Structure 1
Amino acid sequence: MSNIVEIKVPDIGDFDSVEVIEILVAVGDKIEAEQSLITVESDKASMEIPASVGGVVKALKVKLGDKVSQGSEILEVEVTGGAPKAAPAPAPEPAEPAAPAPAPVSAPAAPAPMASSAPDRTSPTAAFAEADMPLRNLPHASPSVRHFARELGVNLSQVTGSGPKNRIMADDVRAYVKQALSTGGTSPVGSTVPAGGGFSVLGWPKVDFTKFGEIESKPLSRIKKISGANLHRNWVMIPHVTNNDVADITELEALRQQLNVENKKSGAKVTMLAFLIKAVVAALKKYPEFNASLDGDNLVLKRYFHIGFAADTPNGLVVPVIRDADKKGVMELAAETSELAGLAREGKLSPSQMQGGCFSISSLGGIGGTDFTPIINAPEVAILGVSRSAMQPVWDGKGFQPRLMLPLSLSYDHRVIDGAAAARFNAYLAGLLADFRRIIL
């Protein structure tokens, strides 16, 4: 003998109209009394709602995103044999006495319309968890930590909590991400294979764009295909942080213009990039961890100074490398960057001219912008982004003076470099550009 029992949301305290964030069972599942059925979350806490009786799930009455309160129907269970044994459990639910009357009428028809929600076992808290993973006994974490984990795509069941009673803290999620990145876990675009232990990448959306209007299909250039794959890997694998600062280059710009006037006959033109390379080399000597690469658990510190610079070409971005920049003067650096940029635009750079870089500079000064986040060129650990300089009023202690200010955006690998070191590097670099005489000190 069997009968249908409706399981409802019991007394959950002061919470009213809370969101269903997980459905832990499906139609056809055999459940036991006290087994978790759904997880609800308010702005203060998340909790699992247990079954008051055991049996076979016949119909689901909720779906992800629904708002429920005390007395809301969760599902229908077919109880066989052991119904009297589990009967006392529904007692705390005030709405339960009214349930027997409608239950026999709705039981036959309910499973059909609700069947479409049965496969929806996606758990936002578990962050794309595998379908065969048991979605119960949720990790102990606050709603804010669950939200943080969802944003990062972290499966909380893979994270070890360091808080009281193994509660997962935000720092535990950060530590897990850092460990996953250091072990090299990633998934290619379009893959759903878990990467790094708890990461997975959703499949790329397939859209028929012709349904919405006229289109033109244009293949990516060879350079963009290669650089795109590298940029994707670098962004996913390296925990980027960007430090923004400004440098007063009023006097340096005046010097640059003066040198160009003096060398007008020779045809050699000094660019701000040449000064930047010279200043970066000095900063790398003072802060050697920026002139390094990660090799497993070892940090490889380099004693040479090969500086790459991003060159814009009709086919895409390439990064020629100035070798032994520490042994060259500003005029030599200006001439070599000009020559390499010309070869890049003509597509004549050799592979050797784009290898061996220690640190890169990406300058958008000739185009515009105020700040941006340049992507680190692995296996380097930092890159300097330079935006357009602009005249700004700067307080000198007595009044505002017009000064030419250059924005500096330093992206760095947080596994190697901490925020304080990055701020010091950027401040030191800005100081060198403000008074270039410090280069000789």
Structure 2
Amino acid sequence: MTEVRVPTLGESVTEATVATWFKKPGDRVEADEMLCELETDKVTVEVPSPAAGTLAEIVANEGDTVGVDALLANISESGEAAAPAAPAAKSEAPAEAPAASGGSSVDVMVPTLGESVTEATVSTWFKKVGDTVAQDEMLCELETDKVSVEVPSPAAGTLTEILFDEGSTVEAGGKLGVIASGDGAAAAAPASAPAAAPAASSSTGKDVEHAPAAKKAMAEAGLSADQVQGSGRDGRIMKEDVAKAAAAAAAATSAAPAPAAAPRGPVNADDASREERVKMTRLRQTIARRLKDAQNTAAMLTTYNEVDMTEVMAIRNQYKDAFEKKHGVRMGFMSFFTKACVHALKEVPEVNAEIDGNEVVYKNYVHMGIAAGTPQGLVVPVLRDVDQKSFAEIEKEIGEKGRRARDGKLSMAEMQGGSFTISNGGVYGSLMSSPILNPPQSGILGMHKIQDRPMAINGKVEIRPMMYLALSYDHRIVDGKGAVTFLVRVKEALEDPRRLLMDI
């Protein structure tokens, strides 16, 4: 008998509600097949079967509250009598075909996608049905809201089945395809190809039980199920889906639609023939949604200043060779700006805080988000506890996170938990801009291009390397005085870096 227990639910989360059981006692289950779905305050967690066998007993029913590591069910591994029922499970029967041909088969599964990420889009298949693959060779690439995930082959053999084509949405823990090894591998490929159709349609026509918390939220918001787009399994409506629908309804009634939301006007046939339509990636959709949410939620305002980069550039030129020789990393400007922001946040802590309901959460740490442009879009890796790190440690981590961001190798955990963000538009030549907040943060600093300009210095005109700085902030929590003070402290620290040593 194998026990099915509640997995780890996340930091500080100790209990969950059993939302839906996908199996009932007596059903045959395979290893890693989804048994049930748990719902916490923030995320939905799917519980896979730890072993193949028969679901003998369900201990925690739908609607029950369970703690971490609590017993959910028992699986009988000796219940071989249930094997004849396997053909009734339409999506499972094709998986046995390669074995009948004298070879063995291995399922290609969707890997863990990150905390609170339940689905991804198949962006690219590097192999096609019938191709021979080596163990750990890359089969396909998945794209989530933030990162790209490569799926390696779990075994050497022949790719005999692809269940989801490029552009399809897959769930965490779901099956992507089948690898067959042995003499019957090649013969199994044609037989397994049609299996994708029943697998894709096996969930259609099914009565979907929406999450209990979602039902309650819909009742409170006065919404019906047909007004909410479900993002859970089989279109199941989750609590966060209701929140999005309610926010969209409120925005629609409180303001006129923005020009960007208006339907596209008529296009003549000649122009239309020269256009190309490309579906937005999940990352781009998420960027668009989060940026618009920031504008709709925060009372966002931007204040500007300029900084003379003479002293920072002089220090960099004087010590860059010795710095790189000792620490193995080049000295850039980002470590100076990071340290200057840490210095300013000590004096103006509300810029490092966030609003939670009717409370302000002040953070006695600085987790710095560094916005980075990638071929896939903008991502913001987070450097944790930068207030405790040296210039060299900051430069090393910025370089390492930047490379992994460009390669799409960042995990979700590495892009969560930031308390303040720096965005450097200067690397693209931007002279002035107003950065948008990264919710739920209350401040973001925009750096820009360093440009020589004539400045009045002690009654004389001198040419100095100047940079415009922009601080966007949430006026609900940060007053104008605090925002200006923060930007002035950053300016002072950069124009006289000795202040950082003296902490003044």
- TM-score normalised according to structure 2 size: 0.48
Question: Is 2:198 the partner of 1:198?
Answer: no
Per-residue CA deviations over 1:212-258 (Å, capped at 9, x if unaligned) read 60201122222211111111111121121110100111110121222
Structure 2: how far apart are the matches of 1:417 and 1:196? Answer: 28
Question: Is 2:288 the partner of 1:228?
Answer: yes
Question: Is 2:295 the partner of 1:218?
Answer: no
Relative to 1, partners in 2 of residues 1:403 and 1:357: Cα closer, same or farther, differing over 3 Å?
same
Structure 1 position 264, deviation (Å): 4.2
Relative to 1, partners in 2 of residues 1:209 and 1:271: Cα closer, same or farther, differing over 3 Å?
farther
The one of 290, 304, 308 aligned to 2:369: 308
Match for residue 428 of structure 2?
367
Structure 2: how far apart are the matches of 1:250 and 1:399? Answer: 16
Structure 2: how far apart are the matches of 1:289 and 1:352? Answer: 24
Could you tell me which amino acid in structure 1 is paired with residue 351 of structure 2?
F
Match for residue 479 of structure 2?
418
Could you tell me which amino acid in structure 2 is paired with residue 245 of structure 1?
N
1:312-331 to structure 2, matched below 5 A, reads 312-331=373-392
Match for residue 135 of structure 2?
none
Match for residue 465 of structure 2?
404
- 8 Å Cα contact 1:209-1:215 kept in structure 2: no
Structure 1 position 404, deviation (Å): 1.3
Per-residue CA deviations over 1:319-344 (Å, capped at 9, x if unaligned) read 00000001101111011000000000
1:23-42 to structure 2, matched below 5 A, reads none
Could you tell me which amino acid in structure 2 is paired with residue 345 of structure 1?
R
Structure 2: how far apart are the matches of 1:211 and 1:242? Answer: 43
- 8 Å Cα contact 1:364-1:387 kept in structure 2: yes
Structure 1: how far apart are the matches of 2:300 and 2:410? Answer: 29
| Contiguous gaps of at least 5 residues in structure 1 | 1-182
Structure 1: how far apart are the matches of 2:438 and 2:415? Answer: 12
State the structure with more CA Rg: 1
Could you tell me which amino acid in structure 2 is paired with residue 199 of structure 1?
A
Match for residue 333 of structure 1?
394
Could you tell me which amino acid in structure 2 is paired with residue 355 of structure 1?
Q
Structure 1 position 283, deviation (Å): 0.6
Question: Is 2:307 the partner of 1:251?
Answer: no
- 8 Å Cα contact 1:186-1:237 kept in structure 2: no
- 8 Å Cα contact 1:248-1:403 kept in structure 2: yes
Could you tell me which amino acid in structure 1 is paired with residue 254 of structure 2?
G
Per-residue CA deviations over 1:27-63 (Å, capped at 9, x if unaligned) read xxxxxxxxxxxxxxxxxxxxxxxxxxxxxxxxxxxxx
Relative to 1, partners in 2 of residues 1:198 and 1:209: Cα closer, same or farther, differing over 3 Å?
same
Structure 2: how far apart are the matches of 1:186 and 1:277? Answer: 38
Structure 1 position 196, deviation (Å): 8.7
**What is the number of equivalent residue pairs in this alignment?**
255
Could you tell me which amino acid in structure 1 is paired with residue 388 of structure 2?
K
- 8 Å Cα contact 1:308-1:319 kept in structure 2: yes
Instruction: For residue 366 of structure 1, give the secondary structure of its aligned residue in structure 2.
Output: helix
Structure 1 position 377, deviation (Å): 0.5
Structure 1 position 210, deviation (Å): 5.4
- TM-score normalised according to structure 1 size: 0.55
Relative to 1, partners in 2 of residues 1:344 and 1:401: Cα closer, same or farther, differing over 3 Å?
same
Structure 1 position 194, deviation (Å): 4.3
Match for residue 279 of structure 1?
340
Structure 1 position 356, deviation (Å): 0.8
Relative to 1, partners in 2 of residues 1:186 and 1:307: Cα closer, same or farther, differing over 3 Å?
farther
Structure 1: how far apart are the matches of 2:318 and 2:244? Answer: 49
Structure 2: how far apart are the matches of 1:310 and 1:349? Answer: 13
The one of 404, 408, 417 aligned to 1:343: 404
Match for residue 97 of structure 1?
none
Structure 1: how far apart are the matches of 2:336 and 2:403? Answer: 19
Structure 1: how far apart are the matches of 2:437 and 2:291? Answer: 8
- 8 Å Cα contact 1:249-1:406 kept in structure 2: yes
Structure 2: how far apart are the matches of 1:244 and 1:329? Answer: 28
Per-residue CA deviations over 1:271-298 (Å, capped at 9, x if unaligned) read 1111111110111111111110001111
Question: Is 2:488 the partner of 1:427?
Answer: yes
- 8 Å Cα contact 2:324-2:331 kept in structure 1: no
Instruction: For residue 286 of structure 2, give the secondary structure of its aligned residue in structure 1.
Output: helix
Question: Is 2:413 the partner of 1:352?
Answer: yes
The one of 383, 390, 394 aligned to 2:455: 394
Match for residue 175 of structure 1?
none
Structure 1 position 366, deviation (Å): 1.4
Structure 1: how far apart are the matches of 2:367 and 2:332? Answer: 18
Could you tell me which amino acid in structure 2 is paired with residue 421 of structure 1?
G
Structure 1: how far apart are the matches of 2:390 and 2:483? Answer: 26
421-430 or 209-218: which moved more? 209-218
Relative to 1, partners in 2 of residues 1:196 and 1:294: Cα closer, same or farther, differing over 3 Å?
farther
- 8 Å Cα contact 2:342-2:366 kept in structure 1: yes
Task: Please identify which structure carries the higher strand content.
Answer: 2
Instruction: For residue 229 of structure 1, give the secondary structure of its aligned residue in structure 2.
Output: helix
Match for residue 438 of structure 1?
499
Match for residue 354 of structure 2?
293
- 8 Å Cα contact 1:248-1:434 kept in structure 2: yes
Structure 1 position 207, deviation (Å): 3.6
218-227 or 283-292: which moved more? 218-227
Instruction: For residue 471 of structure 2, give the secondary structure of its aligned residue in structure 1.
Output: strand
Structure 2: how far apart are the matches of 1:359 and 1:261? Answer: 30
Match for residue 438 of structure 2?
377
Relative to 1, partners in 2 of residues 1:257 and 1:220: Cα closer, same or farther, differing over 3 Å?
farther
Structure 2: how far apart are the matches of 1:184 and 1:302? Answer: 28
Could you tell me which amino acid in structure 2 is paired with residue 393 of structure 1?
P
Relative to 1, partners in 2 of residues 1:211 and 1:360: Cα closer, same or farther, differing over 3 Å?
same
Structure 2: how far apart are the matches of 1:391 and 1:435? Answer: 19
CA RMSD between the two structures: 2.2
Structure 1 position 185, deviation (Å): 11
Question: Is 2:329 the partner of 1:268?
Answer: yes
Aligned identity (percent) is 35
